[in-house]
Chain A
């Protein structure tokens, strides 16, 4: 009985969502990226493997928000993949800790060429508050070559979506 009530509530909820417009907000236009060549190659389809190289998880929250119903970056052909083999590049957050420097290099090696590296958040560019920490190897740029940086502490989902759209050319 309880189950059937739950199901009915689900049906009503679905009907409401279909009637209303999606909860997605209007996206900010794509930011012009430095990688015009990548945009021509990707042509509106960009899959990334996310690597947390030592982040405080603030950026992870915003990346989660980027793919939530409100920002819905998937509508622009952007997705996070489970396997670096399926990805066009990496989405790296945080300063690179000593333990994550090796895994980060190896993950990038596993991505088919050509691979893009996108960094999210101020820590990835200059280590932020973690600069000089005993466990920190350095910024992401000290370990692998970075193609695109999304600044902010943390950057908001609209900025992440706009930057990735610029990279995907859409």
Chain B
């Protein structure tokens, strides 16, 4: 890290990141839908359609299943809150946001896991067959995906000698040759698969289908209505932005602000938006070409990601 930053700048960076993730998440969803529609020969809804949907949902009635406990209304809040806490400290725009010292790799991975677990509990809490089925599937996938994510980022933390994400990013900026090292590429493979699994994208889950028997994520949120559903959508999209932003900056950190200053921060903000946008377009193109994997094959894919991540750690330890 390049010395201590003024506290006000750090706070401004964190605020910018939280605000950007919150506003940009639904826009990213809109962008992926637009790209997919165009590739399918449709016109597709405008990019800001998800925001229209959220605005409408915010004004609708909030329903609650008869059997549901306090977990059901709490889960969407936990989902949004965990994603935003990660957004506040993650190295997205600059390497030194206000909560950057707490943006530890373990903290980030388990904060995201906390959001998934909250949603899975809420799915169980509804007392419906689909809620329980979705929760069981999501946790089956989560149980394999989280360790793969953790070990993949661990491989990056070995050369940086720190599990702090901003430190990992700034050390790889200082040694760009590390970015092309074998452990980076192995970890990148693992990270890509986990990002798809964690966000319920193809080939793990199909965000565009409403077919009850195949859905994983949507099965857990079938009972949410109005503002709660808006929060779930917001939380899920914030999570996608955070994970894509981390992916971009851990593996291609160029452009991120390493020194305080309006110009460097502006460059950092523009590059991270461009990177996440490009990854979103890439995700949409990938999804148009992909079929969904059979559910029982998904753990095989994720075990593959885990093996890649373990190999990355082994290589990182052997090749200093």
* Bound form: Cα–Cα A82–B215 in Å: 10
- What distance in Å separates the Cβ of A114 from its nearest Cβ neighbour in chain B? 8
Q: Is B62 an interface residue (CB 8 A)?
A: yes
- B62 nearest CB neighbor, chain A only: A112
A-contacting residues, B120-171, CB 8 Å = none
Q: How many A-B residue pairs have CB under 8 A?
A: 89
Interface string of A76-115 (1 = CB under 8 A from B): 1100111101101000000000000000000000101110
Interface string of B46-89 (1 = CB under 8 A from A): 10010011011001111100000000000000000000000000
A-contacting residues, B230-245, CB 8 Å = none
Q: Is B251 an interface residue (CB 8 A)?
A: no
* Bound form: Cα–Cα A145–B285 in Å: 43
Residue in contact with A85 in the complex, picked from B45, B52, B56, B223, CB distance below 8 Å: B223
- A110 nearest CB neighbor, chain B only: B63
Asked whether, in the complex, the Cβ of B210 is within 8 Å of the Cβ of A81, the reply is yes
Interface residues contributed by chain A, number (CB under 8 Å): 31
Q: Is B222 an interface residue (CB 8 A)?
A: yes
Q: Is B307 an interface residue (CB 8 A)?
A: no
* Bound form: Cα–Cα A144–B229 in Å: 26
- B53 nearest CB neighbor, chain A only: A45
- A83 nearest CB neighbor, chain B only: B222
Asked whether, in the complex, the Cβ of A18 is within 8 Å of the Cβ of B44, the reply is no
- By a CB distance below 8 angstroms, the chain A residues around B224 are 85-86
- By a CB distance below 8 angstroms, the chain A residues around B37 are 22, 72, 74-75
* Bound form: Cα–Cα A141–B49 in Å: 32
B-contacting residues, A24-77, CB 8 Å = 24, 41-45, 47, 69, 72, 74-77
Residue in contact with B42 in the complex, picked from A22, A42, A88, A114, CB distance below 8 Å: A22
Asked whether, in the complex, the Cβ of B44 is within 8 Å of the Cβ of A72, the reply is yes
Interface core residue of A41, A75, A81 (most chain B CB under 10 Å): A75
Asked whether, in the complex, the Cβ of B52 is within 8 Å of the Cβ of A77, the reply is yes
Asked whether, in the complex, the Cβ of B289 is within 8 Å of the Cβ of A112, the reply is no
- By a CB distance below 8 angstroms, the chain A residues around B287 are none
* Bound form: Cα–Cα A18–B44 in Å: 13
- By a CB distance below 8 angstroms, the chain A residues around B212 are 82
- By a CB distance below 8 angstroms, the chain B residues around A7 are 289
Q: Is B39 an interface residue (CB 8 A)?
A: yes
Sampled A-B contacts (14; CB under 8 Å):
A14-B39, A17-B38, A17-B41, A22-B44, A45-B49, A47-B53, A69-B41, A72-B44, A75-B42, A83-B223, A86-B222, A86-B224, A110-B63, A113-B61
Additional A-B contact list (18), CB under 8 Å, known A72-B44, A88-B60: A14-B39, A18-B39, A22-B37, A23-B42, A41-B56, A43-B56, A45-B49, A45-B52, A69-B42, A72-B42, A75-B44, A75-B45, A75-B46, A76-B45, A82-B222, A86-B229, A112-B62, A112-B226
